[in-house]
């Protein structure tokens, strides 16, 4: 079965420090991996994706993610966290089952403290 796991319910980090939000995946075939962010009472916003090529993917708002095939991971990172980065982050994988669908991880809540 295709799945995505986010092992941390919550990540706390001080402003200015680097942050990492973890994600591991289990898919058959090539993984198409995504990160989305959701602010309170809002829809999800696309941050970045890995399709193929360079394992380090750069995205919006200074975020980047590293694809690691051997560890089946796709961790989200940012060198210096901002208070405004506090939000709910979802890792996701795109699969085809008669139509294209996105399978989301459970989500990780990021708190950045000033």
Partner 1 sequence: DTEVTQTPKHLVMGMTNKKSLKCEQHMGHRAMYWYKQKAKKPPELMFVYSYEKLSINESVPSRFSPECPNSSLLNLHLHALQPEDSALYLCASSQEGSASSYNEQFFGPGTRLTVL
The residues, any chain, with a CB within 8 Å of residue 97's CB and separated by 6 or more, are none
28 binds partner 1 (CB under 8 A): no
Rule CB under 8 A: choose which of 28, 54, 70, 97 binds partner 1. Answer: 97
CA 114 to chain centre: 23
DSSP bridge partners of 82:
none
Residue whose CB is less far from partner 1, 17 or 88: 88
Q: CB of 25: closest distance to partner 1 in angstroms?
A: 14
CA distance 86 to 10: 11
57 binds partner 1 (CB under 8 A): no
105 binds partner 1 (CB under 8 A): yes
Rule CB under 8 A: choose which of 43, 54, 70, 114 binds partner 1. Answer: 43
Q: CB of 48: closest distance to partner 1 in angstroms?
A: 9
CA distance 111 to 97: 35
74 binds partner 1 (CB under 8 A): no
CA distance 5 to 3: 7
């Amino acid at each position: 079965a295709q799945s995505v796991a986010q092992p941390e319910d919550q990540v706390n980090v001080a402003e200015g420090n680097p942050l990492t939000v973890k994600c591991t995946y289990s898919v058959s075939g090539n993984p198409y991996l995504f990160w989305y962010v959701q602010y309170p009472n809002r829809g999800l916003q696309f941050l970045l994706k890995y399709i193929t090529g360079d394992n380090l993917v750069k995205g919006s708002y200074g975020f980047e993610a590293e694809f690691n095939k051997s560890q089946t991971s796709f961790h989200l990172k940012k060198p210096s966290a901002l208070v405004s980065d506090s939000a709910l982050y979802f890792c996701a994988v795109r699969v085809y089952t008669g139509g294209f669908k996105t399978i989301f991880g459970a989500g990780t809540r990021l708190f950045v403290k000033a």
